[in-house]
Amino acid sequence: MKTLLDPAILFFVFGLLAGLMKSNLEIPPQISRFLSLYLLMSLGLKGGFALAKSGVNGEVAITLACAVGLAISIPLLGYQILKRFVSGYDAAAIAATYGSVSAVTFITATQFLENAGIPFGGHMAAAMALMESPAIILAVLLANRTRHQLAPQSQSKAGVSLSKLLHESLTDGAQVLLIGALIIGLLTGEAGKAAMQPFSGDLFKGMLAFFLLDMGLLASRNISGLKGKSVWVFLYAIAAPLLHASIALGLAHWLHISAGNAVLLMVLAASASYIAVPAAIRFAIPEANPSLYVGMSLALTFPFNLIVGIPLYTWFVLHLL
C-alpha cells in the first residue's frame, strides 16, 4: 500500500484511469521523448557518481555476470514455454520482450529504494544496459530457425537481419546516453555530483511523475490490443515476472548479493521492454503480432511491476536474504 501513496505511482494510476475514460489528455511525443532521455541521463549520472564513491569490487563483477546470465536464460526459457501456446514467431517476439528490460520500471525501483533508505550500487545501471541486447539477438536466431523450418530457401535472411540488429541494438541512442552518462559520473565523482544536483537530483522526482503519467495513458491505449487473446497470454504476463524475479532472488541469495542490488536484479529480471525491443522486433520479426507482445508488456506487466511487483520483490529480499 505504501507504494500506491508515492506521487509518481499515483500519477501513473491517474494516467491509466484517464486513458480508460477516453479523456483527451495527452503528452506531446516530443516531451515524452525528452522525459525519457532525461531520466536515462540522470540515472546514468547517479550510477556513475555512486560507482566512483564505492569503487569496483567483487560484488560488482558478480552482479553484472548474473545480469548477463539472466538476459540469456530468460528469453530461452520463455520461448520454450510460449511456443506451446502461440506461433513460433510470436513466441520469439514475446520471449525477447520479457528477456529484455524496462528502463522506467528500473528507474521507479531506484526511487522506491531511495525513499525506503535501502542503498544500492551504481553499477546496476550498467547491469540494465547489459541486459538490453541479448534477448533481441536470441529472438532473431529463434525466428530465423522458424523461417528455415517453414521455408528453407529463406536462409539468406539470417545473416543480414542479425548483423543489422546487432549494430542497432548496441548503438541505440538511449543505451549510448545511459552508458555515456554513467562514464561521465564515474569520471567526475563527488564534484560532478554537486554540480549536477539541481538537474539530476532535485528535478528527478517531478520528471519521473510526469513521465509515468504519460506511461499510464499509453498503457490504457494498449489494453484493446489484448481483446480476444488466449487466457494463457494474460497468465504469462503476470506469472513470468514472478518466475523471473524468483530466479534472480535465488541467484542473489546464493551469491550473497546485497539487498538493494538484489531488489534491482529482481526488477530487471521481472521487467519487460515496451520501447527498444518492440521497435527492433517489428523490423526483425514482421510475422509476429505487435499488439500481442506490446500489449502484454505495457498494458499488463508494466502496471503489475510498478504497483505490486517492486514492493513485493523488496519484501522478499528483506525477509529472505
In tens, the pLDDT along 210-263 reads 999 999 998 888 887 777 777 888 899 999 999 999 999 999 999 999 999 999
Phi, psi of 296 (to 5 degrees): -65, -50
The 10 Å Cβ neighbour count of residue 162 is 17
Q: Tell me the per-residue pLDDT of 101-149, one tens digit each, with 9 for 90 and over.
A: 999 999 999 999 999 999 999 999 999 988 888 888 888 888 887 777 7
**Topology annotation, domain 31-320:** Na+/H+ antiporter like fold (1.20.1530)
Alpha helices in 151-229 (DSSP H): 157-170, 173-196, 204-222
pLDDT given at position 146:
79
pLDDT at position 201 is: 87
pLDDT tens for 47-89 read: 899 888 888 788 899 999 999 999 999 999 999 999 888 888 9
CB atoms closer than 10 angstroms to residue 317: 25
Nearest alpha carbon to residue 174 among 5, 32, 36, 13: 36
Average pLDDT over residues 151-162: 49
Mean pLDDT for all residues in the chain = 87
pTM (2 d.p.): 0.86
Q: In 185-202, which positions are buried (b, 16+ CB within 10 angstroms) versus exposed (e)?
A: bbebeeebbeebeeebee
What are the residue boundaries of the structural domains of the chain, listed by start?
31-320
Say if residues 280 and 168 touch (Cβ distance below 8 Å).
yes
Closest CA to 272 of 179, 139, 178: 139
- The predicted-structure confidence for 286-310, as pLDDT tens digits, reads as follows 888 888 888 899 999 999 999 999 9
